[in-house]
Amino acid sequence: MINNAKYFYRTVVFSQLNNKVALADIDEPKKVSYLEGWMGIVVSLADGQHTIEELVGYLSKQYPQPPSNLIETIESVIERLIEGELLKMSDEAVSLPYYLASPIEQLDLEKARTLIKQDGYQEKD
């Protein structure tokens, strides 16, 4: 069972083009791996500044009548993303490093690459 009071944040560089979310490679920005719908939504919203409870509230408002299994779906997606090390949880808000804070299309790639090296960040394969 997921603690909905926890903050959630991504641990991967991502792309967000044409309403599709994908994992991106900072060294090869055009090389992407698309995420299925719910996973992409959660990764794109995983900015470290919001709790799971806030995510559920936000997503509920996207529907005239939210699906009855919305909470279970979101929790299942979060569990899979955590298992895949694409997402982490925290008791407090988290400030993401520059290279994880925005889609790759909005980043200065040279700055992002430099900061990644300085931080010792390892991209997920």
pLDDT, residue 53, reads 94
pLDDT, residue 99, reads 96
Structural domain includes residue 67: yes
Structural domain includes residue 113: yes
Structural domain includes residue 110: yes
Q: What angle do CA 43, 47, 52 make, to 5 degrees?
A: 75
| Domain housing 36 | 7-119
What is the dihedral sign for C-alpha 46, 50, 53, 57? Answer: negative
Question: What are residue 91's phi and psi, to 5 degrees?
Answer: -75, -20
- What confidence tens digit (pLDDT) does each residue in 68-90 have? 999 999 999 999 999 999 999 99
Structural domain includes residue 1: no
Structural domain includes residue 62: yes
pLDDT at 12 over 60: yes
- What confidence tens digit (pLDDT) does each residue in 41-58 have? 999 999 999 999 999 999
Structural domain includes residue 73: yes
By three-state DSSP, how is residue 63 classified?
coil
> What is the domain count for the chain?
1
Structural domain includes residue 29: yes
